[in-house]
């Protein structure tokens, strides 16, 4: 690396660049083709680049001016001296928030995430850095990550697991002060397991990822952290045990003393028992230790149905925790009671989090209400309204998800530094209407063209590899038309999300798609859990329908949905479709990402859309009441969905003025941006966590 530009190495290793447009543009200028080929991974790009190219750039005045500006911004933001916490909250934290999560989705170069929970955790890390909140994340480094999805010729999902190239990823090994690999030694049941760790930098936030794939372990234990959400209850318990006890041990080894411990979902709640052990080992009674743990612990639940919470049989708890009650003098019943509802027979991780955290929350207004009713039995004598579970609605990290072209419009018409005023509702309500309709429309059309080009290039790759079935190429999106109203259904495939709701009336759907004057096309994408056969059936049905000639290539399934593809989709479709059964979606965030890019939502009023929908910023499927039976709900919502598309969405989109601009459509688009962006930004979310949960505990 030439000395003049040697800070490229440090910058490439910190994912700060991934949400700063100037930094991304700089890497693109280094070698545009290589930047694309490496999947926007600057670490890999700098490994693979011709050194001569770097020598040229080190003497290029134009590049050096860009480089110096980016490095200056990087240094200023990492210091946090002008961040929100110090500037507006008028406070500082000498100790960090420790945020434990089973998965973190920070960038597609680190495929250690499965879905929304990981994306939220990644957005939380980034926003904490932007706001100047001292923050450390603790999770797992999964060498095989989550799977890459392939759809077979006959429409079935297959899973490919690829090993992460550690040398060409934005990670570094955690070492001791003398430069040796840090290695922890944990008792897991009746054996010793060794755990190493990796560090990921996201601005000023640090993410520590545990890894059991070390030579000191046997083959079975090396696989404990191999894949995200391994099947089998015992394997799941071992992973969660390692995360809780190993995560606490790691922070202690690094000399990190958190001010607040935040459990992101029940998977992480064993950290509370690990800290209980610390206090009791130091001489505190069980009651004192529980209070000390509770005093600085926050618990967030994301699951709106009882069956979705992690529950372990008591035999497994005995196998992995009997040493604890023997060593500390705590009885088996006392420990087990921390994870049990009254009269319960198993150990529930959410109950453990609720009992040992001073502050607990759901992730939307509806989810808060559902959670208070669900866990009312833990608080005898209280009404549901008195159950101490509040809600803090999820938000998305706007700089990560907003398209560069849309961001430039915000800079010109909203505020030059709009990203500092993301949650200023008055600003967005007053300034978004000033964006010229034609500019916003043509900007979105450009993003749509990029999306369809990206999909076609994927199809071209398959064709080049010998996939020459015309129906398959059509089903993968080869025939999508940028002039046609495009609806996206993009999310994890699972039965309650009802991805095939559209198909209950195939004849009406075909009429919509094949209308010669006002056609509609649909893009589906999403993975199913490898063990979820019902979800795989849903993918198979979508793919099978997409191959039919009757749909004229205007129905497609795009395989291998990941963060990279997600950016194209939330920025490029015209409508974001969401159709879960009521009260089964805790929050959802993908629709927020679409809305901030000028893509209106069409959704059931569940999760965040229940509080986000105002009648003018998108469309609702059905009403807020929940029918008595699943069949009735599906029938009513299928009819409502097709009605809204045919009678409300399609006419607005195709009603154009003489300049071919859909003015009524643009009114919905602007209302969507101005009402969703400030209220569902991660900036608002993290300020609420700080003001309502972190600072009061501190």
Report residue 529's pLDDT band, with 50, 70 and 90 as the boundaries.
very high
In CATH terms, the fold of domain 407-680 is Rossmann fold (3.40.50)
Sign of CA dihedral 294, 295, 298, 303: positive
DSSP 132: T
- For residue 420, the tally of other CB atoms under 10 A from its CB is 16
Q: What is the 3-state secondary structure (H, E, C) of 580-596?
A: CCCCCCCCCCHHHHHHC
Q: Which of 467, 600, 489, 608 has the alpha carbon at shortest distance from 545?
A: 489
Whole-angstrom Cα distance, residue 153 to residue 560? 15
**pLDDT above 90 for 92:** no
Give pLDDT tens digits for 325-373: 888 889 999 999 999 999 999 999 999 999 999 999 999 999 999 999 9
Mean pLDDT of the chain, nearest integer? 95
Residue 322 φ then ψ, to 5°: -60, -30
What pLDDT was estimated at residue 468? 64
Please tell me the class of the 86-394+687-697 domain.
alpha beta
Give pLDDT tens digits for 21-35: 999 999 999 999 999
HSE, CB side, 13 Å, CA atoms: give it for residue 321. 29
Residue 473 φ then ψ, to 5°: -60, -40
Whole-angstrom Cα distance, residue 129 to residue 400? 13
**pLDDT above 80 for 231:** no
**pLDDT above 70 for 471:** yes
Residues 6+ apart with CB under 8 A from 580: 496, 497, 498, 588, 604, 606, 607
Residue whose tokens read 């990087």: 74
CB distance 483 to 525 below 8 Å: no
Report residue 228's pLDDT band, with 50, 70 and 90 as the boundaries.
confident
Whole-angstrom Cα distance, residue 615 to residue 617? 6
Please give the helix or strand (H or E) that residue 677 lies within, else none. Answer: helix 663-679
Is the pTM value of this prediction over 0.95?
Answer: yes
Residue 378 φ then ψ, to 5°: -75, -10
**Burial class (CB within 10 angstroms; exposed 0-12, middle 13-18, buried 19+) of 674:** buried
Domain with CATH 3.40.50.2000 in the chain: 86-394+687-697, 407-680
Report residue 233's pLDDT band, with 50, 70 and 90 as the boundaries.
very high
Greatest extent of the chain over all pairs of C-alpha atoms, in Å: 81
Whole-angstrom Cα distance, residue 539 to residue 499? 8
Looking at residues 561-590, what average pLDDT do you find?
96
Higher pLDDT, 330 or 250: 250
**Burial class (CB within 10 angstroms; exposed 0-12, middle 13-18, buried 19+) of 416:** exposed
Looking at residues 199-209, what average pLDDT do you find?
98
What pLDDT was estimated at residue 467? 67
Whole-angstrom Cα distance, residue 681 to residue 686? 9
Strand, coil or helix: what is 523?
A: strand
Give pLDDT tens digits for 398-438: 999 999 999 999 999 999 999 999 999 999 999 999 999 99
């Amino acid at each position: 690396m030439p000395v003049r530009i040697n800070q490229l190495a440090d910058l490439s290793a910190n994912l700060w660049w991934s949400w700063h447009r100037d930094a991304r543009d700089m890497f693109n200028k280094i070698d545009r083709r290589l930047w694309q080929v490496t999947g926007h991974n600057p670490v890999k790009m700098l490994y693979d680049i011709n050194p001569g190219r770097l020598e040229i750039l080190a003497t290029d005045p134009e590049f050096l001016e860009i480089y110096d500006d980016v490095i200056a911004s990087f240094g200023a933001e990492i210091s946090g001296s002008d961040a929100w916490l110090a500037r507006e909250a008028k406070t500082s934290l000498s100790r960090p928030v420790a945020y434990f999560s089973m998965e973190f989705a920070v960038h597609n170069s680190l495929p250690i995430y499965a879905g929304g929970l990981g994306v939220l955790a990644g957005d939380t890390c980034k926003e904490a850095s932007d706001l100047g909140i001292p923050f450390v994340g603790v999770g797992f480094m999964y060498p095989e990550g989550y799977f890459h999805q392939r759809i077979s010729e006959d429409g079935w999902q297959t899973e490919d697991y690829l090993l992460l190239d550690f040398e060409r990823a934005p990670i570094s090994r955690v070492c001791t002060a003398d430069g040796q690999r840090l290695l922890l030694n944990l008792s897991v049941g009746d054996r010793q397991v060794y755990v190493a760790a990796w560090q990921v930098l996201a601005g000023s936030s640090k993410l520590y990822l545990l890894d059991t794939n070390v030579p000191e372990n046997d083959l079975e234990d090396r696989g404990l952290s191999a894949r995200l959400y391994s099947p089998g209850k015992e394997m799941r318990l071992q992973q969660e045990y390692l995360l809780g006890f190993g995560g606490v041990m790691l922070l202690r080894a690094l000399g990190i003393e958190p001010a607040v411990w935040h459990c992101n979902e029940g998977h992480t709640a064993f950290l509370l028992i690990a800290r209980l052990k610390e206090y009791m080992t130091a001489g505190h009674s069980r009651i004192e230790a529980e209070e000390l743990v509770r005093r600085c612990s926050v618990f967030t639940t994301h699951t709106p149905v009882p069956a979705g919470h992690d529950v372990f049989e008591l035999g497994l708890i005995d196998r992995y925790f009997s040493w604890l009650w023997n060593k500390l003098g705590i009885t088996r019943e006392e420990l087990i009671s921390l994870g049990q509802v009254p009269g319960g027979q198993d150990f529930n991780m959410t109950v453990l989090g609720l009992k040992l955290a001073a502050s607990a929350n759901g992730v939307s207004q509806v989810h808060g209400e559902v959670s208070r009713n669900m866990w009312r039995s833990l608080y005898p004598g209280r009404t549901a309204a008195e159950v101490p579970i509040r809600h803090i609605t999820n938000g998305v990290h706007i700089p990560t998800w907003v398209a560069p072209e849309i961001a430039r419009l915000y800079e010109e018409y909203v505020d030059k530094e709009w990203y500092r005023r993301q949650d200023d509702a008055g600003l967005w309500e007053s300034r978004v209407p000033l964006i010229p309709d034609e500019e916003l429309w043509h900007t979105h059309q450009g993003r749509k063209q990029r999306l369809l080009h990206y999909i076609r290039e994927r199809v071209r790759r398959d064709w080049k590899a010998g996939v020459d079935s015309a129906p398959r190429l059509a089903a993968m999106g080869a025939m999508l038309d940028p002039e046609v109203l495009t609806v996206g259904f993009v999310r994890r495939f699972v039965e309650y999300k009802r991805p095939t709701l559209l198909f209950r009336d195939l004849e009406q759907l075909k009429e919509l798609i094949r209308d010669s004057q006002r056609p509609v096309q649909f893009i589906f994408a999403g993975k199913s859990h490898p063990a979820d056969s019902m979800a795989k059936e849903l993918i198979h049905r979508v793919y099978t329908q997409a191959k039919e000639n009757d749909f004229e290539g205007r129905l497609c399934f795009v395989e291998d949905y990941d963060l990279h593809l997600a950016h194209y989709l939330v920025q490029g479709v015209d409508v974001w479709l969401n159709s879960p059964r009521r009260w089964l979606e805790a929050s959802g965030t993908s629709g927020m990402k679409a809305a901030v890019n000028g893509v209106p939502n069409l959704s059931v009023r569940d999760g965040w859309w229940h509080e986000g929908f105002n009648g003018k910023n998108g469309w609702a499927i059905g009403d807020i009441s929940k029918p008595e039976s699943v069949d009735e709900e599906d029938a009513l919502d299928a009819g409502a969905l097709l009605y809204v598309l045919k009678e409300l969405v399609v006419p607005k989109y195709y009603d154009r003025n003489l300049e071919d601009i859909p003015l009524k459509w643009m009114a919905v688009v602007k209302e969507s941006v101005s009402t969703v962006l400030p209220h569902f930004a991660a900036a608002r979310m993290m300020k609420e966590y700080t003001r309502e949960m972190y600072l009061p505990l501190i």
